[in-house]
Each structure stands twice: as structure tokens, then as C-alpha cells.
Amino acid sequence: MYVQLPFDELRVDSTQKKRIAYFYDADVGNYAYGAGHPMKPHRIRMAHSLIMNYGLYKKMEIYRAKPATKQEMCQFHTDEYIDFLSRVTPDNLDNFAKEQIKFNVGDDCPVFDGLFEYCGISGGGSMEGAARLNRGKCDIAINYAGGLHHAKKSEASGFCYLNDIVLGIIELLRYHPRVLYIDIDVHHGDGVEEAFYTTDRVMTCSFHKYGEFFPGTGELRDIGVGKGKYHAINVPLRDGIDDATYKSIFEPVISHIIEWYQPSAIVLQCGGDSLSGDRLGCFNLSMSGHANCVNFVKSFNIPMMVVGGGGYTMRNVARTWAFESGLLNNVVLPSELPYNEYFEYYGPDYKLDVRPSNMYNANSPEFLNKILTNIIQNLEHTKHAPSVQMQDVPRDPEDLGDVDEDTAEAKDTRGGSQFARDHETEKPGELYDDDDKDKGEKNITITEAEQMEIDELNQEE
């Protein structure tokens, strides 16, 4: 079943136009996990600088999303966990000794200045991106500050505090019957899988290194439970996977999923730690090998949200996300880097490229054939896309900031302001099942036998 595909040069259709909403908050690069910590939010600012200097801003709509509120974060996370994140600082950390253990905050997930604001930026971008996709305002939404796939309902994990992906998918589920989540980070997307492990409304598919590697989850036999059985797909890979091998497993798996599951929206997590030469990763993908996944998923023309994720060699992550932004806009960026404020990071060659190394590929064709066969057998159970009960689409959250419609003039037009209409209450006696009844008449259906009894009683009286 496994066939080694040739790895060709990436191509785009320059005549095709996608409407792209790109979310970026200039503050995101100001946050720091601490000296010596591998996670550096500064890489998002570097990627943004390349994207701007390549002129991609002319092709996209660029937004700064409103940071996610506590209430929005609590759509997935617990109230007490979000309350803790909003109150803890490096100065008052000693007051939260119990909570640090309970919420797994410490070495990997340190408390730093502006932690809650940082969470708000990543969550706001993914939620606003999902909302724009829902309203048909764009075909692709990009939020490189997102992709923090390890965060759990009430626990930080793997440098992730707020699971912006889950919040974005929850938003998509308000309009879309089925959502597909694809994860090409070198680490297993455990937080997202866990959140949707029991539902058939979301299918999660993660390609990751498995075996004595963080977070230790995501083996082939983890397929979901209950209604969600066969809706969690894990592709456990070994060290040194290269472009052609990755393409040969990625493309058939994704093709089968889309053909059988028929998602109406896709979320793609583009963690850059699967690139060759990453500080924490152990794969051997070039920039083109990584970007091929993005290009392939885009080719299905399904509404799509692209988020960031891991990636700990900053210059390579910035190069790759800039290149992938170009592909999403149907442009193959030239390899000569334009001058930008972080130009010295890209020495000595100053090229837009991440080259593979001579690392040994431990993924044999027999091993990959076994994985592919197993996954396709499991997918057989999802061949007929699950049905979703028809129901009204819930209203978009009320915009409490718009007070113009509540002025006296507005209340005199169109039956009063939206605010006033929202706060009208049902008057007693207004609820009828049958409009033909006289106003005030009680809506009671009487059988013939009951009517005869009433007539008899009346005659006796």
C-alpha cells in the first residue's frame, strides 16, 4: 500500500486568488519565557518581518485581533485555571505554591511577565480567524502566534498555556458540521486530540515522532472512544524522516481522510520543529518538504486556518513560515532574502532555504506500509461522513462596544434598538401554538369523549 512518491518542485496556480486574513499582534515578540528557554516568541516577529519585506502584505488582509477574554478562554479551560493564569506573576509566585503543582507551571512552562496577555494574543487570533472563516469573509486565516497544541483543560504543558486551537475549533463548530485538524509538529498534538477524543464532529490527525519523546502519547492504536472512535488518527514516525518519505505518508493519509470524512473546515498546525536542524526536533525535513504539506492541504479548496506551533531554531522557523505564507498566496518566494531588520540572523548564506542534513532515515518502507495499512483500515469505519442534526446557527457574540444603536434616535426607528429588542421579555399569555385561536383563548385540545362528559355534567346541573 505504501508507495514512495517522487519529491517534485513546489508549484502554485498564480491565476487562483484566495482571500487571506493574516493575524499579527506587534506585542507578541516582546514576551520572553526566560533566559535559556528554547521557546522564543520573537520568531513570530522575525517571520512577520520577512512576510512584510517580501511584499506579501499587498496580497493579504492584515488584522490585529482583539485578545481573547477570560470568558472566551473558559469555553474550553476551567475557570480556576484561567483565573490562576490571569493573577500569577513572577513577583507573587510564592503565593501560588499549590497551584503551580496543580496546573503544571514550573520549568517547561515558567511564569513570565505578561503571561496572560501573551495567552490572550494567541487565543484571540485563532478565535477571530475561525469567526472570519465562519462568516465567509476569507478562505484562509493565518495566526502564527497560535498552534499551542499541548495545553490541557486545566493544565499547562510543553510550553503551552492556552489551547488556542481548541478555542478556534469550538468557534468553527458553530457553523461547520465536521472539522479536520492536521498537526505536522514533531511533537504529538495531545491537547487537541484529548479535547475532541469522544466526538465525531472533529477528526484529529497528528504526524509526530513517537518513542521516548515528549509528550509520550500518540501511538497508532489511539483512535478515539465512544462516538469519537476512529476519529483520532496518529502517525507515529521515527528519527530522520526526509521530504520524499514524509510526502509519501502524508498525502495518502490526508487524501483518504478528506474523501471519507468530508470536513467543511480544516485547521493545520505548522510546527517548525519538524524541520531539519531544529534544537529539539529529530526529523530531517527541508523547507520545501514542510511547505509541501501546506500546499497539498490548500489544494482541496476547503476553508482553512493555518496556525504556528513549535520550532526552536528561530531563523529556520521564520524562513519556513514566510515561504508558506507565500504559497498560501499562490506565490513561490525567491530565495534571495530581502533586507529586513533581522537580516544578520540569516547568515552566512542569507537565503530563503532550510536544507536537509545527511541524517539516517529510520523509517523503512515496511514500517510505513504497516502504519498506512492500519490507518486506512480504521478510516473505513468513517467512510460515510457522520450526520449532524440540523439546528439554528447560534447568534454571534453581542458586540457590547457598539452603543450608537442605543441612542434615542435609533430607538425610534425599526422598532427600537437591537439592545432594547434583546432585553424585551415575553408578556404573559403571548405563547400560542395555534395562531387561529382567539386572543386570550386557552390552547387546550379536548377529545370527543371528554366533550361528551362535559355536556352530560352540564345537563345534570
Single-letter residue type at 139: D
| Residue 58 DSSP label | G
Residue bearing the bigger pLDDT, 408 or 15: 15
Residue 237 · residue 186 · CB < 8 Å: no
Residue 150 is among the residues annotated as catalytic for this protein? yes
Strand blocks (E) in 102-177: 140-143
Lowest mean pLDDT among 113-122, 162-171, 176-185, 399-408: 399-408
List, for residues 209-234, the tens digit of each pLDDT value.
999 999 999 999 999 999 999 999 99
pTM greater than 0.75: yes
Residue given cell 493575524 in the structure block: 23
Q: For residue 56, what is its C-alpha cell?
A: 506579501
Lowest mean pLDDT among 27-36, 281-290, 383-392: 383-392
Question: Which superfamily does 20-381 belong to?
Answer: Histone deacetylase domain (3.40.800.20)
Q: Residues annotated in the binding site, as ranges?
A: 108, 158, 185, 187, 273, 312
Is residue 149 classed as helix, strand or coil in its secondary structure? coil
Q: Residues annotated in the binding site for substrate, as ranges?
A: 108, 158, 312
What's the CA gap between 18 and 140, in Å, rounded?
7
The pLDDT assigned to 248 comes to 97
The pLDDT assigned to 447 comes to 64
List, for residues 320-379, the tens digit of each pLDDT value.
999 999 999 999 999 999 999 999 999 999 999 999 999 999 999 999 999 999 999 999
**Number of Cβ atoms within 10 Å of the Cβ of 30:** 14
Integer CA distances (angstroms), 388 to 133, 196, 201, 228, in order: 20, 16, 8, 14
Q: Which of 48, 77, 149, 150 is catalytic?
A: 150
Phi, psi at residue 180, to the nearest 5°?
Answer: -105, 130
Residue-range domain boundaries for the chain: 20-381
Closest CA to 331 of 57, 61, 138: 57
- By CB atoms closer than 10 A (0-12, 13-18, 19+), residue 284 is buried
Of the chain, the percentage scoring pLDDT greater than 90 comes to 81
What's the CA gap between 3 and 416, in Å, rounded?
65
List, for residues 116-138, the tens digit of each pLDDT value.
999 999 999 999 999 999 999 99
Residue bearing the bigger pLDDT, 231 or 450: 231
Q: Residues annotated in the binding site for a divalent metal cation, as ranges?
A: 185, 187, 273
Radius of gyration, CA atoms only, the chain = 26
Single-letter residue type at 449: A
**Number of Cβ atoms within 10 Å of the Cβ of 375:** 22
Please, what is the end-to-end C-alpha distance for the chain in angstroms? 88
Residue 411 · residue 259 · CB < 8 Å: no
- Cross-strand pairs, 141: 21, 305
Q: Residue 424: is its pLDDT beyond 70?
A: no
Strand blocks (E) in 247-319: 265-269, 304-307
Q: Residue 263: is its pLDDT beyond 80?
A: yes
List, for residues 367-415, the tens digit of each pLDDT value.
999 999 999 999 998 866 656 666 666 676 665 555 555 555 555 554 5
Residue 218 · residue 188 · CB < 8 Å: yes
The pLDDT assigned to 451 comes to 72
Residue given cell 499551542 in the structure block: 148
The pLDDT assigned to 193 comes to 98
Q: Residue 460: is its pLDDT beyond 90?
A: no
H or E element in which residue 233 lies: strand 232-237
The pLDDT assigned to 437 comes to 46
